[in-house]
Amino acid sequence: MARRTKIYEGKAKILYEGPEPGTLVQYFKDDATAFNAAKKDVIEGKGVLNNRLSEFFMTGLNELGVPTHFIRRINMREQLIRAVEIIPLEVVVRNIAAGSISKRLGIEEGTALPRPIVEFYYKDDKLGDPLVSEEHILAFGWASHQDLDDMVSLALRVNDFLSGVMMGVGIRLVDFKIEIGRVFEGDFQRLIVADEISPDSCRLWDIKSGEKLDKDVFRRDLGNLTDAYAEVARRLGVMPTNA
């Protein structure tokens, strides 16, 4: 069998050349990292769950007309995606204070925010992905005014969709991160949701018990990570065993 060309390897995923021009294969690893890879482990089954969960969320968004890179799932650990030019920003939406906003601004974890807050972090592992302002983004040319408007609008639409879906299964969407990429269609560029949407990149709290069902289970040593992700998958009817 011919060896595939690896395009990029990140902390939790690998991108391979796709079967057609403009496509890539995204492979989900079992590796878990936190605190900019200062904490690492291999969590058996995590990649399979995230592949299925990201498929579920991205398919739902595509159906709603929120464009994403997702084309189709190939197998347990791989999905076919559109190749995009990733904008070097992590876009975070917060509904409830937790994690870095609580630390930075001294807001108690669990405090509802007055409205969803969109933040941008510059993607740079060496710098630890620092929070940046729209001024930085425009001045350093990472995105245009139009891109910023489009990114905020995409992020808020993803927030509406994800919050609603999670609420339906008794889970509060506290916050999440997405990455956004450019695709070029003739003379036009369009921004679409890329990377993954999974419990690795969201904070998900059980509405009744407050139990954490996301990567904080790993970051804070709260129990078994795959059990938490499998619970999210079970409630959403996403069964990784039928791959």
User: Can you tell me which of 55, 129, 147, 179 binds ligand C5P, judged by CB under 6 A?
Assistant: 129
When the beta carbons of 69 and 215 are compared against ligand C5P, the nearer one is 215
Instruction: Work out how close the CB of 162 gets to ligand C5P at its nearest, in angstroms, rounded to a whole number.
Output: 11
Cross-strand bridge partners of residue 183 = 190
- C-beta of residue 240 within 8 angstroms of C-beta of residue 229: no
Instruction: Work out how close the CB of 204 gets to ligand C5P at its nearest, in angstroms, rounded to a whole number.
Output: 9
- C-beta of residue 44 within 8 angstroms of C-beta of residue 225: no
Per CB under 6 A, 99 contacts ligand C5P? yes
User: Can you tell me which of 26, 79, 201, 226 binds ligand C5P, judged by CB under 6 A?
Assistant: 201
Instruction: Work out how close the CB of 195 gets to ligand C5P at its nearest, in angstroms, rounded to a whole number.
Output: 9
Q: Using the rule CB under 6 A, give the single segment among 73-81, 95-103, 153-161, 221-229 that binds ligand C5P.
A: 95-103
Per CB under 6 A, 33 contacts ligand C5P? no
When the beta carbons of 27 and 205 are compared against ligand C5P, the nearer one is 205
Per CB under 6 A, 100 contacts ligand C5P? yes
Per CB under 6 A, 176 contacts ligand C5P? yes
Per CB under 6 A, 179 contacts ligand C5P? no
Q: Which residue ranges make up the site for ligand C5P (CB under 6 A)?
A: 90, 92, 99-101, 129, 175-177, 201-203, 215
